[in-house]
Structure 1
Amino acid sequence: MKLTDTHRSTAWQVQSLLLGYPDADLLDSLPLLRRSAAALPVALGAPLQPVLEYLDGGEPLALATAFVETFDHRKRFSPYLTWFAHGDTRKRGMALLRFKQVYRDHGLLIDDGELPDHLAVVLEFAAAHPKTGQQLLIEHRAGVEVMRLALRDAGSPWTGVLESVSATLPPLRGAEHAAVARLVAAGPPDEGVGLAPFAPPSYMPEPLGMPTFAGGRR
C-alpha cells in the first residue's frame, strides 16, 4: 500500500505519544492509540502493537522506571536527534537553532527549557506539517536508525516505535547506510556512547511528559 500524508501524520502522532513518559494520561489514551495504530498500513501499525501491549500490561511504577532508565540515562538511546550528528560540540547549538527556526516559521514555539530536537517533538511537528517534518527526519535519518538499532539490540519494548518511524521514511541510501555504520562504530563527535546522560543537568528534569510546543498538549 502506498503511504499517504494522512498515514504518516497519524503514525507520527501515535509514535510521538508513545515516546512520552508513561503517566496516567498516556496510559488512559492507550485504547485510542491502539485503534489508531490498527487503522494504519501494516508496515506502520504492526511495529506499534508490541509497544501498546507492553504499556497496557505494565505496572505504572515499573513502566516509569523502565522509561527513565532507557531514555534518561543511556546515550545510545538518546531521543535528541542532533546529538547523534554533533555530540555535545558547538555545532549542535547551530543545529538546534535550525529546528527552532523551522518551528517558528510554522508559527510554533517550544516551551522554555526544552530541546527542539527531541524525537517526540519532531514527530508531533511532523504530524501537523508532514512535508517539512519528514524532511527534518530525513536530515537526521542516521540518528533515527542508530537509536532504532540500539533499542532493538537491547530488546527494549520501545523498539517498535522506532521501527514504525523508520517505515514512514524512504529506504536508506548508500551514504545514509555509511553514516549509520560510522555512528554505530564510533559514536557522535568527541563523545563516548553510554558514558553519561545525553543532556546537561538543566535538561534532565524530574519525570514529566514529553517536551511540548508552547500552548500545545502535555
Structure 2
Amino acid sequence: MPSDAVLYQAAALCLTRPDDGLLARLPLLREAAPQVREFADHAAVTPAAELRAQWERVFGPRPGLYLSRWAGADGAADDGSLARYARAYRAHGLEFAGDEPPDFLPAVLELAARTGETGLLTDHRAGLEGLRARLTALGTPYASVLDAVCAALPLPRPTPPPSRRPPP
C-alpha cells in the first residue's frame, strides 16, 4: 500500500483538468497508487477530448472542486476562508500560484502530499464527503478517487468536553 503522500499526489493529478501530462502519467499512477486504478483505467481507454468533456460536466458547475464552497450553505467562498488556505501554503514555505483559488482540491491535495499537512482536508471532511456522494450519484469514475482520499484522511480529533468549573 503506498504512502498517503503518494495517494494524495496521485489524487491531485486525477482531479486536475485532464491534459497530455496526465495521460502520459497514467501507467505510473496505476502502479504507484492502486486506489486510483479505477479512474486511471477509465482515463486510459477514453479519448482525450471526451475525458476533458467529462471533467467539465462533472466539475464545471459550482461548487466543483473548491473546498470552501462545499463548506458554505450558499456555495460561495469568503475572502477569510481563502486567506486561511494561502496562510497554510506560506506556513510550509510554499507560495500558491495558479489560475485557481487556493481552495482548489487538487492544490490542497498536493500541499498534503508535499508537506503531510492534512488539516485543510480534515477540516473539510463534510464537504469532501458531500462531493464524494455527488460523484457517486453521478456514477463517475472520479468517485473512486474521492473514496480513496476520504479513506486515507486521519479521523478527526475529538473535541474535549468543556471544563466544568464550580460557580464562584
TMscore range, shorter length: 0.7 to 0.9
Q: Match for residue 6 of structure 2?
A: 10
CA distance in 2 between partners of 1:85 and 1:155 (Å): 23
CA distance in 1 between partners of 2:106 and 2:154 (Å): 19
Q: 2:122 aligns with which of 138, 156, 160?
A: 138
Does the 8 Å contact 2:29/2:37 carry over to 1?
no
Which structure: larger Rg? 2
Counterparts in 2 of 1:152 and 1:112: CA distance versus 1, 3 Å: closer
Segments ≥4 residues shifted beyond 2 Å: 86-89, 170-175
CA distance in 2 between partners of 1:96 and 1:69 (Å): 25
Matched, 1:54 2:42: yes
Task: List aligned pairs for 1:144-155, cutoff 5 A.
Answer: 144-155=128-139
TM-score when scaled to structure 1? 0.67
Please list every run of 5 or more consecutive structure 1 residues that lacks an aligned counterpart in the other structure: 39-44, 176-218
Secondary structure of 2:129 counterpart: helix
Q: Match for residue 204 of structure 1?
A: none
Task: List aligned pairs for 1:144-183, cutoff 5 A.
Answer: 144-171=128-155
Q: Which has the higher contact order (CA 8 A, sep 6+)?
A: 1
Does the 8 Å contact 2:62/2:75 carry over to 1?
no
Counterparts in 2 of 1:173 and 1:125: CA distance versus 1, 3 Å: closer
The share of aligned pairs that are identical, in percent, is 34
Structure 1 residue 85 displacement after superposition? 1.4
CA distance in 2 between partners of 1:170 and 1:109 (Å): 25
Task: List aligned pairs for 1:28-43, cutoff 5 A.
Answer: 28-38=24-34
Counterparts in 2 of 1:112 and 1:50: CA distance versus 1, 3 Å: closer
Matched, 1:120 2:106: yes
Structure 1 residue 102 displacement after superposition? 1.1
Secondary structure of 1:97 counterpart: helix
Q: Match for residue 184 of structure 1?
A: none
Q: Deviations over 1:41-60 (max 9, x none)?
A: xxxx2xx1210111001011
Please list every run of 5 or more consecutive structure 2 residues that lacks an aligned counterpart in the other structure: 160-168
Q: Match for residue 68 of structure 2?
A: 82
Structure 1 residue 92 displacement after superposition? 2.0
